[in-house]
């Protein structure tokens, strides 16, 4: 299982600068950063960071609207300054306010496509063509900045709360959630069998499926 730590001040500093420059609507958001010891492996890909919405239930322990974890190993040892900035900018792009419901949400990627397809067929779909524009119009561009109250904060999740965060996280969560959707009805035993895990982990996974907001942004 992954180890969690307080994120370093360099993460907070870069995030604050990026919010002022490119994501001013996030001045109202409470964003917590946490270090994970290393990147997450997912189907052969490395995930260096992940943004997640904090649900109302979880806000009891974690007074944030979003939590973003960053791989400490990559942040401290592998990424250049420019890459660090791109990584945090990317995660912040996942964090938006929905204008229709006035709630914070995780926005999916504008473009989901294989390199080979773009190479062979160009921007063949309307998604690829208009996706970005449509998305920005719908979500952020119309948010009048006059309404931004600057009530938010960017902070490292405190040591005191990191344990709570750790207990709310499981690398199998997304897969388990998909499995639960396919199955319709999900039980601890089904999870145990599917993922070959012990009862205690399956039972805490089931609890997570029911509490933690879906669709984290990688
Ligand atoms: Zn992403």
Over residues 4-27, the pLDDT tens digits come to: 999 999 999 999 999 999 898 899
pLDDT of residue 139: 59
pLDDT of residue 141: 47
The count of other CB atoms within 10 Å of the CB of residue 11 is 23
In the numeric block, the tokens 């189907």 are attached to 43
Q: What's the gap in Å between 114 CA and the centre of ligand 1?
A: 15
Q: What's the gap in Å between 107 CA and the centre of ligand 1?
A: 9
CA-closest candidate to residue 35, choices 70, 81, 1, 87: 70
Q: What's the gap in Å between 91 CA and the centre of ligand 1?
A: 6
pLDDT of residue 13: 97
DSSP symbols for 88-116 = HHHHHHHEEEETTTTEEEEPPPS----HH
Q: What's the gap in Å between 184 CA and the centre of ligand 1?
A: 28
pLDDT of residue 110: 73
DSSP symbols for 38-76 = SPEEETTEEE-EEEEEPPTTGGGT---SEEEEEEHHHHH
pLDDT digits 0-9 by tens, 103-138: 898 888 877 788 888 788 877 887 777 665 665 665
Q: What's the gap in Å between 89 CA and the centre of ligand 1?
A: 10
**pLDDT, mean over the chain:** 84
pLDDT digits 0-9 by tens, 145-195: 666 777 789 999 888 888 777 777 788 888 888 898 888 888 999 999 999
Q: What's the gap in Å between 57 CA and the centre of ligand 1?
A: 24
């Amino acid at each position: 299982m992954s180890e969690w730590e307080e994120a370093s001040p360099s993460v907070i500093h870069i995030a604050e600068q990026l919010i002022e420059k490119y994501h001013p609507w996030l001045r109202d958001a409470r964003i917590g950063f946490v270090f994970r010891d290393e990147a997450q492996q997912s189907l052969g890909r490395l995930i260096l960071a992940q943004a997640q919405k904090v649900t109302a239930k979880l806000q009891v322990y974690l007074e944030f609207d979003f939590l973003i974890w960053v791989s400490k190993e990559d942040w401290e040892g592998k990424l250049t300054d420019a890459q660090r900035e791109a990584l945090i900018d990317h995660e912040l792009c996942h964090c938006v306010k929905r204008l229709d419901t006035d709630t914070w949400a995780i926005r999916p990627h504008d473009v989901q496509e294989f390199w080979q397809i773009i190479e062979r067929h160009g921007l063949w779909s309307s998604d690829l063509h208009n996706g970005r524009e449509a998305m920005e119009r719908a979500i952020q561009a119309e948010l009048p900045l006059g309404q931004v109250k600057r009530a938010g904060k960017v902070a490292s999740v405190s040591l005191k709360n990191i344990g709570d965060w750790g207990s709310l996280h499981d690398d199998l969560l997304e897969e388990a959630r998909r499995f639960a959707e396919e199955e319709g009805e999900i039980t601890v035993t089904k999870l145990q069998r599917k993922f070959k895990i012990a009862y205690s982990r399956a039972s805490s996974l089931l609890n997570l499926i029911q509490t933690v907001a879906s669709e984290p942004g990688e």
